[in-house]
Amino acid sequence: MNNLANSQYLSWLNHPNMPANFKAQLQTLKPTEIEDAFFKDIEFGTAGMRGLMGLGTNRINEFTIKKVTVAYGLMLRRLYPQSLTRGVVIAHDNRRNAITYTTLTSQILNQMGIDTYVFTELVPTPLLSFAVRHLHCLGGIMLTASHNPKEYNGYKVYDDQGCQLVPHKIESLIQILSTLPEPLAIEVPKFEPTGRIKTVPLEVENIYVNLVKSLQLQPHLPKHHFKIIFSPQHGASYRILPSLFKSLGFDVFVVPEQSQPDPDFKGTLSPNPEEKLAYEKAIAYAQKFNAPLVMVADPDADRVGLGYRDANGDYQLLDGNQSASLLIEYLLSHRLQQNKLPSNGIIYDTIVSSPLGRKIAQQYKVKTETFLTGFKFIGDRIDFYEHHAGPHFIFGYEESYGCLIGDFVRDKDAIQALTLYAEMALHYALHGINLGQALDRLYQTYGYHLDKQFSLSLSGIEGEQFLNQLMNKIRQTPFKPFQEWKVVLFEDYLFQVAKDDKGHHSTIALPKANVIKLNFNDGSSIVVRPSGTEPKCKFYFLIHGKSTTEVQVKLNQYLQSFSKLYLSEDKRLK
């Protein structure tokens, strides 16, 4: 066992502050479990702090929650010493211990002299972002593990604009964290006057819902005979989305087995819209009712997946790049028709987004700006241009099934997305076109794109060592040929440099991140990104070609080449 993990474990086991019931749990851990739970401190990644619940320094528990909350409170006191009564909004989704962690977080901040606002029940992440903005608070905290399995929980931190903290803002929090003792030794500092706990007013949700309604481009489309099957995946959209859709006149059927909050996700095979298992029950009901559209929100309602009935009556799923590209075309074309397309409009995407969205935007003379993964970069850019008379925000999205249409929220918003996706699907249906046919029209215009994500799940020290070796290997030999294709541009976001095959160098004007991108002479790309919130490495293959068959063949060839060049036999991508 790793020496650090063992010493951390023994420290927790024998600590005088360790409750007897927790001590008994620690004593049941196996050596491999001890190592993974204690070999490092849980980290802040692209989406805050997220991990397995349980005892240990590398786990989500009341001790690690306590430590990060104290650090956040100290940061707020440093930044806003005269404004602490503005408060912090705290929300949670359906996860285990959600109420316990919410109460603990609020009590700690109150003790530190900071007011808090809490919701009376679980709510979507975008509503937390909106509440921070509407109530003019100092920030927000969302207790959620998003789409991860039931064993996970997490802690997202927001600034006063309702945006997750970008690197230059989170540096202060990380610096304070580094000065604090280990979690069991943390003492909550007491300040007078103590903060007050308040309930988020009901009007906040009502205002948010009305703003979502205002995003509609064709609100009066006839909605009869257009049935929608929806699943909240036991999560935070279970109440707000069905109510919203019924008020809009949509015929929505909520999957009954997945319609109520459940931390164990007993009615679904997966709560993740990126996985086919998440759609099984919804598609079964769609077949029963012959519904043209299936929609799934993840548990904290910031991401959404779509399925549609094709011309043969079978159901097909859209990935995040495909659904976003369709919505970009729909938004831009209809705003142009309605004379509502701004002359200085802009769309935001990420370095792992399909180039298809950028091509569509260019056709409508709309600019595109690209960021690292993490919607916080998009939210922060919206705020920057809002204060510096920049381009007009139209749309922002990530390939991971999250997007934003209205900037009254500064994070991914499944409620907004579902509303516009439903309108878009209805529009095409009224013209005798399903979403797959609409997507094929885009491919015929802009070229065929196949964008696939693969991942290797890793754990412990061995996993970290493998990732370090992999990234170093690619950095040392980035221009290896991939059968008949060659790398023409190598982008290294850790060292913020791009190199082409002619030896020219340029600077990447984005924050540092341990990400590598290989760009090929056929317009395809491969991105390698160790996850910042999960023990895995993600691989994005963005393949371009002239037909559906060609891009599928090329994907398999690229997979084989990459695995042969950079991966061991036991860690091949499939």
Phi, psi of 458 (to 5 degrees): -135, 165
Strands 88-92 and 139-143: parallel
Q: Where are the alpha helices (DSSP H) in 62-159?
A: 62-79, 98-111, 125-134
Q: Which two tokens stand for residue 530?
A: 């160790």
Handedness of CA 346, 347, 350, 353 (dihedral sign): negative
Q: Is 457 an annotated catalytic residue?
A: no
Asked whether the beta carbons of 515 and 527 are under 8 A apart, the reply is yes
CA atoms within 13 A on the CB side of 461: 12
Query: Among candidates 527, 507, 509, which has minimal Cα distance to 517?
Result: 527
Sign of the C-alpha dihedral, residues 431, 432, 436, 438?
A: negative
Q: Of the listed 106, 129, 146, 325, which one is catalytic?
A: 146
Q: Per the structure block, which two tokens stand in for 117?
A: 């606002």
* DSSP one-letter code for 569: G
Contact 527, 542 (CB under 8 A): yes
- Residue among 462, 562, 568 at smallest CA distance from 516: 562
Cis omega (within 30 of 0) for bond into 19: no
Q: In sequence order, what are the beta bridge partners of 352?
A: none
Q: Which one-letter DSSP state was computed for residue 166?
A: P
| CB-facing half-sphere around the CA of 164: CA atoms within 13 A | 22
Cβ-based neighbour number of residue 311 at 10 Å:
9
Helix %, strand %, coil % of the chain (to 5): 40, 20, 40
**Element holding 21 (H helix, E strand):** helix 20-27
DSSP lists the bridge partners of residue 143 as 92
Distance CA 482, CA 205 (A): 52
Q: Residue 207 burial (CB < 10 Å; 0-12/13-18/19+)?
A: middle
Structure tokens at 164: 């997750």
Rounded CA gap, 142 and 489, in Å?
Answer: 38
**Structural tokens at position 504:** 């020219």
Please give the positions annotated as active site: 146
